[in-house]
Structure 1
Amino acid sequence: MTTYVPKEVQAGLDAARKKDQKRKSKMLVEADGQTYRVLRFWDTGFALDAETAPHLRGYVDLYDRGEHLYQCLILACAEEAGQMCYEFKRLTAISGKQPSDFVEEEIEVSGLIEAPRL
């Protein structure tokens, strides 16, 4: 049995699927001062809407609900089903503090010295 769907109905289904993905996704990619909503994210890459996304290449930043998660080196790899797919060449997680170039020793407090009372 084959399923035939008219082109207009298929276009409507695709538009609804794309709208739902945009609504659910909270991830953003920032490149050259522009932000784009990420439709899908996986271990080796992510996908943007093909209509609005340029062919990005180079360093970009990934955010999830305003939190800076990753700094990435990417390249555009393929367009499929209305989505532009990008692959990571490098994916670096952002930590909350600056890296240090020395070993930090933990200082243990063994007791407190109180100020003399007058």
Structure 2
Amino acid sequence: MEAILPKDIQAGLDAARVDSLRKSSRLRVHADGVEHKVLRYWDTGFSLDAQTAPQLRGRVDLFDGAAHLFQCLIVAVEQEGGEMLFDFKRATRVAKSAALDFERAADAPAGLITVDAPH
């Protein structure tokens, strides 16, 4: 059975839920030099607070604290329960190091140790 609540009570419950999500999340989206706190994250997208979320579309960067996780192409899907939902068109994990332009041998040395010759 589904309970039907008055609009003002439902709005208050939605606001409390969004506030709780905002306080517990470390994820951030950076778009056009502006940072937005992610309320929820799932494999195919994320949500932002509908009150403060702009109509983002295109390239954004997803961070967990200071760690850069993904470069994403996104599109806004819908607004639901005080949240603006976004889907990933593409989410590319950010590499920790630059890509190599050669094949590294499995038995390659980790470094070069030299011995100083006596003088």
Q: Which residue identity lines up with residue 66 of structure 2 in the other structure?
A: G
The SS at the match of 2:14 is helix
Structure 2: which 5+ runs fail to align?
none
> Residues 15-42 of structure 1: CA distance to partner in whole angstroms, max 9, x if unpaired?
2111110000110000000110000100
Distance 1:57 1:112, change over 3 A: closer
Scaled by the length of structure 2, the TM-score of the pair is 0.85
Q: Which residue identity lines up with residue 42 of structure 1 in the other structure?
A: W
> Residues 34-76 of structure 1: CA distance to partner in whole angstroms, max 9, x if unpaired?
1100001001000001110111111000000111000001111
Q: Distance in 1 between matches of 2:41 and 2:92?
A: 15
Scaled by the length of structure 1, the TM-score of the pair is 0.85
1:37-76, aligned counterparts within 5 Å?
37-76=37-76
Q: Distance in 2 between matches of 1:56 and 1:116?
A: 63
Structure 1: which 5+ runs fail to align?
none
Q: CA RMSD in A?
A: 2.2
> Residues 54-109 of structure 1: CA distance to partner in whole angstroms, max 9, x if unpaired?
11111000000111000001111111111111110101001110112211235337
The SS at the match of 2:19 is helix
